[in-house]
């Protein structure tokens, strides 16, 4: 009886391993590749045959002629999806390191646009640390700087931001957002830096 039960448990382990560990993931992967190839491959963006990024993962932009992403706590340089520290910083609101960074960002942004109110997402990082989006208010805040650097009108830039503003998913989930990488790539194509 013990030998029979042991053999049944071994066969069940092998059967479920093959079924749930190999066949099911393979079927789901093949279905995803067939039905949603762009999404299944990470929504990679290619430009001139070269991979420039993913629309799902943020990238740091520091040049004044580009829209800047929100701060990132992922990796030493930020926006590192391979970093073991991918995610939020977990610093509490009274942590001196967080307060120093936020105050530094606020001072820099006030110098950039002294009359405008600073949107919260320009000084706070996302939960993942890899968020590719900013709020429309954050994009609006940056329009004067980017327009000045690219020597284009703020109206033309607002129209470009409006084109790249995504609404709520299915009309009710989340908030409107702007994908920074896609906006900056379009900006380079339409109004390149001189």
Phi and psi based region of residue 175 (left: phi greater than 0; alpha: psi -120 to 50; beta: remaining): beta
Per-residue model confidence (pLDDT) at position 79: 61
Structure tokens at 128: 């993942």
Please write the tens of the pLDDT for every residue from 17-71. Answer: 999 999 999 999 999 999 988 888 877 787 788 877 777 777 878 788 899 888 8
Q: Give the separation between CA 158 and CA 146, rounded to whole angstroms.
A: 11
What does the DSSP 8-state code read for residue 169?
B
Per-residue model confidence (pLDDT) at position 183: 92
Q: Give the separation between CA 123 and CA 108, rounded to whole angstroms.
A: 10
The residues that bridge with 134 in the sheet, in sequence order, are 178
Low-confidence ranges of the chain (pLDDT < 70): 74-89, 129
Per-residue model confidence (pLDDT) at position 100: 83
Q: Are 86 and 128 in contact (CB under 8 A)?
A: yes
Domain locations along the chain: 2-37, 44-190
């Amino acid at each position: 009886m013990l030998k029979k039960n042991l053999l049944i448990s071994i066969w069940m382990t092998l059967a479920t391993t093959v079924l749930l560990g190999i066949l099911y993931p393979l079927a789901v992967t093949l279905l995803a590749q067939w039905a949603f190839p762009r999404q299944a491959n990470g929504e990679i963006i290619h430009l001139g045959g070269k991979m420039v990024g993913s629309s799902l993962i943020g990238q740091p932009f520091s040049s004044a002629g580009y829209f800047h992403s929100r701060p990132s706590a992922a990796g030493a340089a930020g926006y590192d999806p391979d970093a073991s520290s991918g995610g939020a910083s977990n610093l509490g609101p009274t942590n001196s390191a967080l307060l120093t960074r936020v105050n530094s960002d606020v001072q820099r942004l006030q110098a950039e646009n002294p009359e405008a109110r600073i949107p919260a997402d320009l000084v706070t990082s996302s939960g993942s640390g890899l968020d590719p989006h900013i709020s429309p208010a954050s994009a609006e805040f940056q329009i004067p700087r980017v327009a000045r650097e690219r020597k284009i009108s703020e109206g033309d830039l607002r129209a470009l931001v409006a084109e790249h503003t995504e609404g709520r998913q299915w009309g009710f989930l989340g908030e409107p957002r702007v994908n920074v990488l896609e906006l900056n790539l379009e900006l380079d194509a339409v109004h390149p830096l001189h």
